[in-house]
Structure formats: structure tokens, C-alpha cells
Chain A
Amino acid sequence: DIVMTQSPLSLPVTPGEPASISCRSSQSLLHSNGYKYLDWYLQKPGQSPQLLIYLGSNRAAGVPDRFSGSGSGTDFTLKISRVEAEDVGVYYCMQTLSRITFGPGTKVDIK
């Protein structure tokens, strides 16, 4: 199975400041069709997860443009340009190239 790692696992943030989460896969997530099979999800406290970014860099419907995703075959980054209080929660990366696996999660809270 493809192993997903994330860093940091805990991220205190200041509203209005940028934030960044890294996700690394044990194998390249670049499909032969050119797409990167990597998604990002946010699970807010007490809620179900919600899709933020799919295929590495595509924002899901309704997701604010302060969220962006980028990355190569094995190294991916989720960036929040200016953190807002509503962005707290646990962020997960997930690969769908082979036997779907999630990263361990990064807990984001306000300093």
C-alpha cells in the first residue's frame, strides 16, 4: 500500500497569516493520464470531512480561493493564504492511485 505522511502533525496558526501543510507519498501519485491522484480534506470539530482540493490542485465547489494545492509526484502542499478562525480542524491528504489511503492528519488550531 502507498503510505502517506504529513507534516507538521500540529500547526498553531494566527488569523490573517499564511499556513502550509506538507504531504508526502511513498510512491509517485502521478497517473499515466497526467493527473495527480491526491486530494485534501478538512474535518472541522464535530463534523464530517469535507473536500477541499482534488487531483492535487483543483479546488472543490464552494471552497474559498485562499486554499490552494500544489505538488509533484510524491510531495504535495496545501496552502492557506490567510487563515481564518473557521479553518481550524484536522486536514487530511488522501491518495486514490492505488488502494486508497489517508495521511495521519494535521491538526490546525488558533494560537
Chain B
Amino acid sequence: QVRVVESGGGVVQPGRSLRLSCAASGFSFSTYAMHWVRQAPGKGLEWVSLISFDGTNKYYNDAVKGRFTISRDNSRNTLYLQMNSLRTEDTAVYYCVGQEVFGVVPMGFDFWGQGTLVTVSS
């Protein structure tokens, strides 16, 4: 049974930092690309960041580049998102998502967690 569980969300002041974690099980985590996708309250979906299966390639939305860092620990089946210099516009539910990739062909965002809410407010 696939499980994707995010943690680490909460209320934080602008300019501060937060680290999100995502524990995955029930699928071959070390062979999956992993993403963070966020959803501001009442809004649509926004892709945040991608890390390749082995952690060698990382990509970011321009809105978070230079402030957020994605990483993974395949020995612990865990994905992370270090968020620095947080802004009020970063307030959102953050989803951890697994994606199978065959060569360079992406198979869709298969596995989604329930999300963790990050609120940036003074």
C-alpha cells in the first residue's frame, strides 16, 4: 500500500525558515522522481520543485529559486524541502508527489500525499 506523508508545516513569520519532510513507502522511492506542488488557499495547483531519482538533478519554480532547496535521502525513503526567507505568498498546502520516469518519458504524478499547510504570517 502506497503511503506519502508530509510533515513540518506550521505558522512562521515572514523571513524565517521551515523544513518540510515527506516519508514515502509502498513504492520504489529510489527509482522515482519526486516533486513538491503547492496550493494556496482557494487557489489552483502550482509546481514548486523537482528532484531526480538519484538526487543529481534539481529544478525550481522561479518564484522559489534561491530560497527553497529540495533534497532526498533514498536510504530513508524521505524527501525534504528547506524553505528560507519565507514570504506571505508562500502560504499554501504543500504536497509531496512521486513520479515514475522511463528514460526521459514522464509517466504522470502517480502518488500524492495529503499535504502539509504552511502559513507565513506576522
Contacts and interface: CB of A to CB of B under 8 A. Distances in A.
Interface residues of B, number: 22
B18 to A, nearest CB: 20
Interface in B48-102: 50, 59, 61-62, 95
A53 B107 CA distance: 9
A96 interface: yes
Contacts, number: 57
Contacts of B109: 39, 41, 49, 51, 94
Contact of A104 (B44, B106, B114, B115): B44
Nearest to B45: A102
A60 interface: yes
A110 interface: no
Contact of B47 (A37, A53, A101): A101
Given A92-B44, A92-B45, A33 B112 contact: no
Interface of A: 1, 33, 35, 37, 39, 41, 43, 48-51, 53-55, 58, 60, 90, 92, 94, 96, 99-105
Given A48-B95, A48-B114, A48-B115, A102 B108 contact: no
Given A48-B95, A92-B44, A105-B44, A33 B105 contact: yes
Nearest to B105: A35
B9 interface: no
Contact of A105 (B45, B108, B113): B45
10 contacts: A33-B105, A39-B109, A43-B45, A48-B112, A50-B112, A51-B108, A55-B106, A55-B108, A92-B44, A99-B59
Given A37-B106, A50-B112, A105-B45, 17 more contacts: A48-B114, A48-B115, A49-B95, A49-B109, A49-B112, A51-B110, A53-B108, A54-B107, A55-B107, A55-B108, A58-B108, A94-B109, A99-B47, A100-B35, A100-B50, A102-B45, A104-B44
